Amino acid sequence: MFVLRVKSVFVVTLFFLGLAPFSAAAQEVREHVIFILAGTYFPVVTEVTAGDHVRFVNVSGAAHSVRHLEGLWETPQMPEGQELVIAVTDEMTGIFKDDAGHFAQGELKPLSAPQQD
């Protein structure tokens, strides 16, 4: 932990001295909102990158948890009206369903790289 702190202080010092490049795009964290509805998710597909945040908002009328189809991750159960924010990792992309395994499913899809001309 001490080594990381020293590295952070060193990088911040270089930045403020104008000796380190800074890219706002590289530091940008996006938050995506996914509504849990009765029988579906909205939006159904959400494009994400590692480091983004996903806010699940349960407005379904019942308690739900959300889990990756292959069991790679799962949220705790959220009562009606509750919100839960998770940080996206590379392993989290793919299809997710509710805890009861209903037909409704959503997808965290890797953000496509912009095409170069």
Q: Structural domains in the chain?
A: 28-110 (2.60.40.420)
Residue 103 has pLDDT above 90, yes or no: no
Q: Please state, in angstroms and rounded to a whole number, the distance separating the CA atoms of residues 97 and 105.
A: 5
Q: What percent of the chain has pLDDT over 70?
A: 70
Instruction: Say which residues have a Cβ less than 8 Å from residue 97's Cβ, sequence separation at least 6.
Output: 66, 67, 69, 104, 105, 106
pLDDT tens digits for range 63-78: 999 999 999 999 999 9
Report CA dihedral (43, 45, 46, 48) to the nearest 10 degrees.
170
pLDDT tens digits for range 4-28: 233 333 333 333 444 444 444 455 8
pLDDT bin (cut points 50, 70, 90) of residue 111 is confident
pLDDT tens digits for range 86-99: 999 988 999 999 87
pTM, 2 dp: 0.72
